[in-house]
């Protein structure tokens, strides 16, 4: 299972979500206040990260490094 910190946070908040895993990469889809959010993990060579629209719903961005912690901080800022 991947994206465990994000899943734990969403469970703590009581927000339903869908988790999928393919080729060892996790994917989470959820809604909050009528907006659809997505998190897709990726691995590009030696770089692991996630593509997400958490910061700007209409646009995706790539996060690397401690991307789970960064995504949780973004969600906390809502």
pLDDT, tens digit (0-9, with 9 covering 90-100), for 19-55:
999 999 999 999 999 999 999 999 999 999 999 999 9
pLDDT of residue 4: 97
Residue 18's pLDDT band (boundaries 50, 70, 90)? very high
The count of structural domains within the chain is 1
What is the overall mean pLDDT for the chain?
96
Q: 23-58 as b/e, with b when 16 or more CB fall inside 10 Å? A: eeebbbebeeeeeebbbbbeeeeeeebbebbbeeee
Range of the domain at 27: 4-76
Within 1-78, residue ranges assigned H as helices are 4-13, 67-76
Specify the pTM: 0.92
Q: How far is it, in rounded angstroms, from Cα 73 to Cα 63?
A: 13
Please say whether the beta carbons of 77 and 32 come within 8 A: no
For residue 75, what pLDDT band results from cuts at 50, 70 and 90? very high
The pLDDT of residue 1 is above 90: no
């Amino acid at each position: 299972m991947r994206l465990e910190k994000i899943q734990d946070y969403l469970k703590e908040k009581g927000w339903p979500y869908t988790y999928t895993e393919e080729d060892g990469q996790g994917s989470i889809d959820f809604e909050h206040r009528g907006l659809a959010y997505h998190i897709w993990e990726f691995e590009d060579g030696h770089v692991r990260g996630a593509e997400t629209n958490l910061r700007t719903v209409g646009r995706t961005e790539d996060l690397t490094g401690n991307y789970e912690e960064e995504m949780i901080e973004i969600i906390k800022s809502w």
